[in-house]
Amino acid sequence: MKSPPWPKGRKLVHLDLKGAPPRVGYLHRLIELFSQLGLDGLLVEYEDMFPYEGELKLLQATVQPAYSREEVLSMQEFAKCKGLEVIPLVQTFGHMEFVLKHRPLWSLREVAHCVGTLNPHREGGVQLVMEMLRQVVELHPGLNTLHIGADEVYMLGDGDESKLWLASPGRTVEQLFLSHVTKVAQAVKEAWPHMSVIMWDDMMRGMSPDTLKASGLVGLVQPMLWDYTPNLDVDTTVSLLEKYCSAGMSDLWAASSFKGSTCVYTCVPSTQRHVDNHVQWLQVAASLSAAVNLQGIAITGWQRYDHLSVLCELMHVALPSLAACLQTLIRGQFSAEAQSSVTESLGISSVEAQAMGRTSADDSLFPGRRLAELTVELDSLLNSEDIRFFDNNMYVRGWFSSYHRQRKTVTSLITMQIHSQALTYLTTLQEKVAAVREEMVRLYPESTAEEWIEEHVSPVVAPLQRITDDITARLNETQP
C-alpha cells in the first residue's frame, strides 16, 4: 500500500561509533554517499570515540584510539560541505556503561551491579554529564541541536538513595526519572539558550499527560519515539505521539532502523525487514493530526545493543538497507522503481545483501562493497549446516564420538575421511577470513577485525580445529 512520502522534516542517519568506528577516510566516503542518497543530517553517538579531555580523558577508548579533535572537526566540515547537519547524541542517564564502567566513577551508579544507570541523587552525576555535554558542544561550532539520550534507564529506583527518596508519600519512579531529565535539560538551556534538545521517549510511554505537564519538561525537550520492528503498531504509535502533543510537547521525532535491531549478533541485515519498518512509519506520519509538528526521522544503525555487547551488522554490509529505507520514505512505498533506484545507485543487482551481486565495477558507488561481498560470503559459509554442525554429523557421531575417543576404538579409514573433510572446510574458511581481515582493516580499526573474527568465526572454527588436531594425534599414535 502506498502512503504519502515522508512529510517535511529532517532525515538523519544514526552513526553509532561505540563499535566499529570507521577510519576517517572511510567515514568521509560514507558521508558523501549519505548526501547522495538524500539524507539531511547525522545523529552521531560518539561514546568513547570522542576526544574527551581533562578529568574525562579516562572515557576515551583504549582498544583503539578515539577520534582526534581535528578529525571530529574535519568530519563536521565535510558533512556541512555536503549539506548534512551534525547532531551529537550524548547519554545522560541510562546506557552510560562507557562512563560508569571506570572505577573512579563507580560511586555514581544507581545500583552497584548495573553499569549503565546514573544515580540521579548525586550532584556529581549532573556535573559529570554537563561536563561531557560542554566538551561535545564546544567541539561542534555552531551547534543548534543536541540529543541527551535518556532511554532504557534500567533499575531506576532500586538504589538505596532512590528508595529513601521514594519512601516519601506521593513520589514515584516516573517523577524520579522526570526530575533528573528536567534538571539536565534546564542546565543545557541555561548554558546554550538557543539549543534544541532531543531525548528518547521510551521511559515516558506509560506516563499520563498530566504527569508530563507537571514535570517542567514541557518546552525543554523534543521526544524522539523509537520503534524498529517490521510490524510496528501504527495505532498505538500514533496515540503515543498525540499524547505527547496533548501534554504540550508538539515538536516530535520518529526513529526507525536500517540495521542493528534484529538480533544482538546479526552479521548481515534483512533489507525487507527494515523496509517494512519504514512502511509502517509512513502510515504513522500520515495518520497524525495537524497539531503534531514532526521534526523528522532518525534512521538508526546500532553497532552494539549497548557498550558491553557484541558487534551487530557493520556499516558496509548495511548500506543497501539504508538506501532502500530512504527510497521508501521518499517515494511512500518500496516500489519496483525504488528498488531500481537503489540497485542502480549502488551498482548492485539486489537490495538484499545476501544476493546483492554487482552490476558495476565502480566501487565509489558503494564504499566498502568489496568487504560487504566478502562478509556475505563468509557469513554464508559460517552458517552452512555442513560446517556449523560438522561435529554433530553422522560420521563424527557414528565413528569418532567421545565414547570412541575415550576408549581408543576409532576406525582409521573413516576418521581419515573426517579429517580430510574438516581440513577442507578449515582451509576454505581460513582463506576467506584472511581476505575479510585484509579488507576490514582498510575501513575499520584492527581491533574491529579482531573482535568480529573472534565473535563470529572462532566459535565455528574451533570444533573443526579440535577434531583435526585430535585425529592427527591419534593417527600419529597408530603409526608404526
Residue 358 reports pLDDT greater than 90: no
Taking only the tens place, the pLDDT of each residue in 260-296 is 999 999 999 999 999 999 999 999 999 999 999 999 9
**What mean pLDDT do residues 195-223 have?**
97
DSSP string, 172-196: -HHHHHHHHHHHHHHHHHHH-TT-E
Taking only the tens place, the pLDDT of each residue in 245-258 is 999 999 999 999 99
Domain boundaries, the chain: 10-368, 384-478
Is 10 in a helix, a strand, or coil? strand
Residue 414 reports pLDDT greater than 70: no
Of 1.10.510.10, 1.10.10.10, 3.20.20.80, 3.40.50.720, which CATH number belongs to 10-368? 3.20.20.80
Among residues of the chain, what percentage have pLDDT more than 90?
A: 81
Residue 130 reports pLDDT greater than 60: yes
Q: DSSP assignment, residue 368?
A: T
The pLDDT of residue 290 is: 95
The pLDDT of residue 43 is: 98
Taking only the tens place, the pLDDT of each residue in 57-111 is 999 999 999 999 999 999 999 999 999 999 999 999 999 999 999 999 999 999 9
The pLDDT of residue 302 is: 97
The pLDDT of residue 362 is: 82
**What mean pLDDT do residues 312-321 have?**
97
Taking only the tens place, the pLDDT of each residue in 364-376 is 889 999 999 999 9
* Distance (Å) of CA 296 to CA 146, 202, 279: 14, 17, 15
Residue 7 reports pLDDT greater than 90: no
Measured in degrees and rounded to the nearest 5, phi and psi for residue 9 equal 150, 160
User: Which are the catalytic amino acids?
Assistant: 152
**What mean pLDDT do residues 460-464 have?**
86
The pLDDT of residue 458 is: 92
Residue 377 reports pLDDT greater than 90: yes
Window from 1-5, 162-166, 303-307, 427-431 with minimum mean pLDDT: 1-5
The pLDDT of residue 418 is: 74
Angle at 35 (CA atoms; ends 1, 3), nearest 5 degrees: 10
